[in-house]
Structure 1
Amino acid sequence: MDEVEVERAWRAGEREAGVVVLDGFHALKHALRFGGEVRRVVTADRSELLGLARELAPDVEAALEGLAVALPERTMRALVPRLHPTGVIAQVLRPFAEANREALARRPRQGPVVVLENPRNLGNVGAVIRLAAGFGAAGVVTTGEVDPWHPTVLRGSAGLHFATAVERVDPAELPGGPLYVLDPEGEDIRGLPFPDDALLAFGTERHGVSAELKARADHLVAVPMRPGVSSFNLATSVGMGLFHWMAGRPPGTGPDGR
């Protein structure tokens, strides 16, 4: 394909329902590694991209060789708001909501579902998804207006949306399982193990979890904090909650349940 054809194909992809943009090699690597449906890959330097794959992710090199096409950097900068330093962008089809909801509802689960009630900070949501994928959580659901597939969230997750189920749901549609709500008034987390099929719910840093969600909780759980400290960062709190779950599993048990 020549330059005009590549740009035309990208512009056509922008109009496809469910297509999201990934920027950077690591986000693309994760999408390929975890089964994302990658439609097209555009790079400023094809040989450099394939060399990067050969060095850091040889498992995706063959796929990239068949997908990657080159465009001048000046043209790429017209396609995306901000070009990643690795000079690669990709269009990937996000999983259908029905498939994500089915994966989240499936039980028994081998890992908890993280619930973010009405999150505000897009970067924090991306960091939470990255944590959830790394720990082997079953998924991340959000309530409220923020789209967890927003480009800024995708950037924060490094493409690890494709390694776990990510969806926005109505509060009444939360997956099944015992609900553990992180709240300063709860019982000390150190004395309360989290089961594999738990829902771990986190509120906003300013307001915490709503009274409505707390009323539905099976357990209120508190992470001890030094007096005078008002809150932890959202992603930090989720990381502590997921580590607490993982620490309660038998030694040698990995994030994939084995």
Structure 2
Amino acid sequence: MSVSGTAGVEGLPAEQQPPEDPLRAWRGLADTSVLLDGFHALKHALRFGARIPVALTSDKAAVLALAADLAPDVAAALDALLAETDDATLRALVPRLHPTAVAALAVRPSRTANLQVLAHTPRPAPVVVLDDPRNLGNAGAVIRLAAGFGATGVVTTGTLDPWHPTVVRGGAGLHFATAVERVDVAELPAGPVFALDAEGEDIRGLKLPDDAVLAFGSERSGLSSELRARADHLVSLPMRPQVSSYNLATSVGMTLFHWSSGRPPGAQV
């Protein structure tokens, strides 16, 4: 077993300097850190300012070639951060290793800081609420969508941890591009609540404000009674008769697109 790392990399802040013993650092941090599984998760985390104490790969040259092709803006940071180890060692640390053979550990953003972002008004973009979601992959896909649209944040109610490794994998590292937290319904951010419901008003006749709180029920049981009681508006998506429902991420994507279509072309969040 061998590991090659680099210490004291010029231009990196102290907290981002690669550790002298990457494997020891990984084992000490794994239980309290966010696992970034794969090239795209690490790429996005770097772009959006995540603190990454350690990053490992079994093929550094291949990862840097991928960065040169797909993400040259983070190539230098990857070159500095990545430590190379053998494939068996990496798979022992990350049993479900991504095909790009790279993984990293990141510091989870402060809950206090995220809640401050969610509570700040006026907001330039909506907050997405997943009411008691059950599917980890769906939650990750929603966070990826929300980050892409520039949503202020994604909050979940219920028991699902939005920072679960499977959710982070589905979100491709974009948890660091928006505020992601779990809250109770009573703690939802301020703003008019537009809850998606098949019996609601057709969304095509509405303009969603920037400070909207967009709520989506669970994949199986829909909106909870508590969330429904909190809603200011029930809203429906256009759907062909006899079709039961859309996938959760699809519903979020359609709703955020409707919100964004009311903004001038090129508007930035």
Q: TM-score range by the shorter chain?
A: over 0.9
Which 10-residue stretch deviates more, 56-65 or 1-10?
1-10
CA distance in 1, matches of 2:45, 2:111: 17
Task: Look up the SS of the partner of 2:210 in the other structure.
Answer: coil
1:76-95 maps to which residues of 2 (within 5 A)? 76-95=90-109
**Amino acid aligned to 2:52:** V
Is 2:19 the partner of 1:6? no
Counterpart of 1:225 in structure 2: which amino acid? M
CA distance in structure 2 between the partners assigned to 1:163 and 1:252 by the alignment: 19
8 Å contact 2:114–2:180 — kept in the other structure? yes
The alignment partner of 1:61 has SS state of helix
- Consecutive unaligned residues of structure 1, counting only runs of 5 or more, are none
Cα deviation, 1:86-121, whole Å, max 9, x if unaligned, reads 110000001011111011111111110000000000
Pair 1:29-2:43 in alignment: yes
* 1:133-152 to 2 correspondences below 5 Å: 133-152=147-166
- Inter-partner Cα distance in structure 2 for 1:10 and 1:216: 43
Aligned length: 253
Q: Is the 8 A contact 1:205 1:231 kept in 2?
A: no
Residue pair 1:182, 1:223 contacting (<8 A) in 2 also: yes
Identify the residue that residue 115 of structure 1 maps to in structure 2.
129
Q: Which amino acid in structure 2 is aligned with residue 110 of structure 1?
A: P
Equivalent of 1:101, from 91, 115, 136? 115
Cα shift at 1:63: 1.1
Aligned alpha-carbon RMSD (Å): 1.4
Aligned to 1:243: 257
Partner of 2:12: none
Q: 1:230 aligns with which of 239, 244, 249?
A: 244
Structure 1 residue 206, shift from structure 2 partner? 2.1
Aligned partner of 2:3: which letter? E
**3-state SS of the aligned residue for 1:38?**
coil
SS of corresponding position for 2:163: coil
Between the aligned residues of both structures, percent identity stands at 66
- Map of 2:9 onto structure 1: none
Equivalent position SS for 1:37: coil
Cα distance in 1 for partners of 2:148, 2:98 equals 23
Mapping 1:40-189, distance limit 5 Å: 40-189=54-203
Q: Which amino acid aligns with 1:9?
A: A
Deviation at 1:48, TM superposition (A): 1.7
Worse-superposed segment, 208-217 or 168-177: 208-217
* Letter matched to residue 25 of structure 1: F
- Please state how far the C-alpha of 1:53 moved relative to its aligned partner: 1.3
Structure 2 letter corresponding to 1:30: H
Retained in 2: the 8 A contact 1:38–1:90?
yes
- Alignment pair present for 1:191 and 2:205: yes
Instruction: Tell me the TM-score normalised to structure 2 length.
Output: 0.91
TM-score, reference length from structure 1: 0.95
Distance in 2 between the 1:98 and 1:44 partners?
A: 36
216, 219, 225: which is aligned to 1:202?
Answer: 216
The alpha carbon displacement at 1:2 in A equals 4.9
Structure 2 unmatched ranges of 5 or more? 5-20
For structure 1, which segment, 222-231 or 89-98, has the greater mean C-alpha deviation from structure 2 after superposition? 222-231
Task: Tell me how far 1:252 sits from its aligned partner.
Answer: 2.8
Whole-angstrom distance in 1 between the partners of 2:121 and 2:101: 41
1:227 is displaced (CA, Å) by 1.3
Moved more, 207-216 or 96-105: 207-216
